[in-house]
Amino acid sequence: MKLMTIETGESVSAYIERLIEKDVKRVQKKQQ
C-alpha cells in the first residue's frame, strides 16, 4: 500500500491513529 504524498505530520498521525483504532477493535472482538 502506497501513501499518497502527505505534507503535514498531522495527516500522518491521523492516518496511523485510524490504523491503530481498526486494530484495537479487531483485538477487542477476539477477546469478547
pLDDT value of position 26: 92
Pick 2 or 21 by higher pLDDT: 21
pLDDT value of position 14: 85
- What the block records as the C-alpha cell of 16 is 496511523
- What the block records as the C-alpha cell of 4 is 499518497
Q: What is the value of pTM for the model shown?
A: 0.49
- Residue 13's contacts (CB-CB under 8 Å, 6 or more residues apart) are none
What 3-state DSSP class applies to 17? helix
pLDDT value of position 4: 57
pLDDT value of position 3: 57
pLDDT tens digits, one per residue of 6-32: 566 667 788 889 999 999 999 999 887
